[in-house]
Structure 1
């Protein structure tokens, strides 16, 4: 560019020198017709070249360093020129409306989805994708999340209505025959307890104490005294033990009438609980107290910590990445692409945010240009303009000299012959 500029300057200087030399060289031949005509042409060319040199130079600096009025136009009008450039950019070339119209012609969602689909399996994208996920996982502050989860769990449990779930629970007890299983469990425990040798002596001792403490008069007192002399703790305990064991065995029989009666009684009691407001109130109070005293934050923190560490370690597993995570993303993309409504929503969302960004930052375009231009001193700015348009400006000087020469020939010719 500098070579082109210097070449143009040399050409302009040469054209001006040619006119000056021609004017001087034709001075001895003023007596001849052609001498007069040529001298007039070179004179006019010299005047035209000097005038255009003055005009071109006056745009950038004072000609010959002399502060002639209305010269050095660019340095003197620097702020106005910069303001004009900024105004032209903001109001004519890069207006908000023109940028929005250009944004509307783009299909961002198609390009973004195609780019993701194309680059998804590249090693670089997978590595960056894994790094981003790991970074986000490490940034999760579990100590802040655990109390929130605890609070939400407690709120959810407090909102549970006992009246809705207790009848369902009772129905499940009957459907799954938990009442019969509970009865069989109690009978088994009684059977194991009654079968022990120690139980026999305990029962016998309790029976003897009860007989001795019975208050009776006359014949009844004599009969009780005689009975206590005939039996001891072991005998009485054995009798009671056998009675209990036989009773347990009879209740274990599914067809035993007493068992059926007892189960019906238990079933009716359970059904009555469904409408017992006192039971509901007691259970509700018990639930509230239990939830208030429950402190699961530590366990939640431990669970989330293990889950976080496990998730980070899983990302390093190529099988998880290639067989689970990437196929999941691909399937999600394919489903998303098949849904025009979602694509349109994404497109509208992207364009809306870009348009908002343009609206909020449109003035910064002019400020950016202004800041960059203000960084340049006058000499640098002049050199930039001259380097970009200097060739054409120097041709103005050449054209001025040539046109002046031709016009001078015509004028002298007209003056001579007419």
Structure 2
């Protein structure tokens, strides 16, 4: 090290100066310089001994209380670990330092700076495109099905059914469902082929009817008088008239039908056995291989759409990425309470994580120190702090020289 040579040179200079004054004729100036060089030589040697004694035995002689760092390597390691855990990585210190960074603000500015470059945007989209292309959707399906089945199993269906029933009553879903069913029935009944079907069925059943006496004679006469077309048309008219009556608000039969629908829904909503069977049926359907195939098809369709959108965005240079990022940052900045809570949670997580694991850093530090032999440890310490310590030798020689001049001058005054 350069400072070591400077320190050695200062000691040599003091020694050479002292030896030179021994051969000079007596003179007050020579005596003054001799006292200075002598004190500087003593100070330089004393500080050389002190600095050397920290790292090794001076001149290789095992003098007591030398090579202090090697003798105290365990104490040094423990002190470093203690300082790391109790001072550098304690909760208050970490929290204080992290608050100065304003993590979310720093993250927002960093992300904004990154997405300004077209190459970064396109690179990020290309990476996302590659990851999405290689994503094994087929292997994800069983986990999705398992999650859906697990979620269904945790649902308490009775409160859900009661809430749905209450909502249905408020939104009048029962009336809408009835009106929809009546409209579909009207459409079906109005078809010509429906009339033919109804006439054929009625004609067949009348012929199969086994009624004796006058009633039987009347039925047979009516069946002979009415053909399939007439029967079909008559039944169609009757059904359409009935549907029209049920479609009118306030109709007595309509109200009775709605009341029965509501009663059945109420009974269903309070029947736990039926609800649990329904829940189990849904869970079984969700776990069925056909459902897995359906989910995979939907996922593949979604992936195709996303890949197409990413390809288009890459061609546009990722402009939407900038728009999305800026929008998200503006929304976060507007929600100060939300961002403050989020930052506090992040800080708490980091602090708790470091506090729970900083002992690992201490163990790693101690393990690294234990793996170093004495020579390597001394070399490392000298590289880190040796340069500054060598200046102690230089200062010791210079201070000794000045003090020697002062003491010699005091002797003259005495």
Between the aligned partners of 2:128 and 2:304, the Cα distance in structure 1 is 14
Tell me if the contact between 1:45 and 1:408 (Cα under 8 Å) persists in the aligned partners. Answer: no
* Closer, same or farther: CA 184–70 of 1 in aligned 2, 3 Å: closer
1:106 matched residue in structure 2: 101
* Closer, same or farther: CA 258–302 of 1 in aligned 2, 3 Å: closer
Matched, 1:240 2:226: yes
Matched, 1:356 2:349: no
TM-score by length of 2: 0.69
Kindly state the Cα deviation for residue 404 of structure 1 after the two structures are TM-superposed.
Answer: 6.5
Kindly state the Cα deviation for residue 237 of structure 1 after the two structures are TM-superposed.
Answer: 5.8
Matched, 1:336 2:332: yes
Between the aligned partners of 1:170 and 1:60, the Cα distance in structure 2 is 92
Kindly state the Cα deviation for residue 353 of structure 1 after the two structures are TM-superposed.
Answer: 1.8
2:110 aligned to which of 89, 104, 115: 115
Kindly state the Cα deviation for residue 287 of structure 1 after the two structures are TM-superposed.
Answer: 7.5
Q: Which has the larger radius of gyration?
A: 1
Kindly state the Cα deviation for residue 301 of structure 1 after the two structures are TM-superposed.
Answer: 1.3
Aligned pairs (5 A) from 1:218-229: none
- Unaligned residue ranges in structure 1 (runs of 5+): 217-223, 228-232
Kindly state the Cα deviation for residue 300 of structure 1 after the two structures are TM-superposed.
Answer: 2.8
Between the aligned partners of 1:262 and 1:40, the Cα distance in structure 2 is 128
* Closer, same or farther: CA 400–59 of 1 in aligned 2, 3 Å: farther
Kindly state the Cα deviation for residue 395 of structure 1 after the two structures are TM-superposed.
Answer: 0.4
* Closer, same or farther: CA 328–246 of 1 in aligned 2, 3 Å: same
Cα deviations across residues 149-171 of structure 1 (Å, max 9, x unaligned)? Answer: 25656868775359765995652
Tell me if the contact between 2:189 and 2:236 (Cα under 8 Å) persists in the aligned partners. Answer: no
1:19 matched residue in structure 2: 18
2:70 matched residue in structure 1: 75
Tell me if the contact between 1:75 and 1:378 (Cα under 8 Å) persists in the aligned partners. Answer: yes
Matched, 1:182 2:185: yes
Matched, 1:37 2:31: yes
SS at match of 2:64: coil
Between the aligned partners of 2:202 and 2:87, the Cα distance in structure 1 is 106
2:141 matched residue in structure 1: 142
Between the aligned partners of 1:18 and 1:282, the Cα distance in structure 2 is 109
Cα deviations across residues 59-78 of structure 1 (Å, max 9, x unaligned)? Answer: 33333222233333333333
Tell me if the contact between 1:86 and 1:369 (Cα under 8 Å) persists in the aligned partners. Answer: yes
* Closer, same or farther: CA 251–392 of 1 in aligned 2, 3 Å: same
* Closer, same or farther: CA 193–248 of 1 in aligned 2, 3 Å: same
Between the aligned partners of 1:6 and 1:79, the Cα distance in structure 2 is 31
Between the aligned partners of 2:265 and 2:86, the Cα distance in structure 1 is 78
* Closer, same or farther: CA 148–90 of 1 in aligned 2, 3 Å: closer
Between the aligned partners of 1:96 and 1:335, the Cα distance in structure 2 is 31
2:397 matched residue in structure 1: 398
1:220 matched residue in structure 2: none
Kindly state the Cα deviation for residue 110 of structure 1 after the two structures are TM-superposed.
Answer: 1.1
Cα deviations across residues 189-248 of structure 1 (Å, max 9, x unaligned)? Answer: 66314777x997x689658xx6xx8469xxxxxxx8xx9xxxxx9x98652317625634
SS at match of 1:141: helix
Kindly state the Cα deviation for residue 143 of structure 1 after the two structures are TM-superposed.
Answer: 0.7
TM-score by length of 1: 0.68
Between the aligned partners of 2:347 and 2:341, the Cα distance in structure 1 is 10
2:53 matched residue in structure 1: 58
SS at match of 2:53: helix
Tell me if the contact between 2:85 and 2:362 (Cα under 8 Å) persists in the aligned partners. Answer: yes
* Closer, same or farther: CA 113–54 of 1 in aligned 2, 3 Å: closer
SS at match of 1:71: coil
Tell me if the contact between 1:190 and 1:248 (Cα under 8 Å) persists in the aligned partners. Answer: no
2:298 aligned to which of 298, 307, 313: 307
- Unaligned residue ranges in structure 2 (runs of 5+): none
Tell me if the contact between 1:20 and 1:46 (Cα under 8 Å) persists in the aligned partners. Answer: no
1:191 matched residue in structure 2: 195
Tell me if the contact between 2:70 and 2:374 (Cα under 8 Å) persists in the aligned partners. Answer: yes
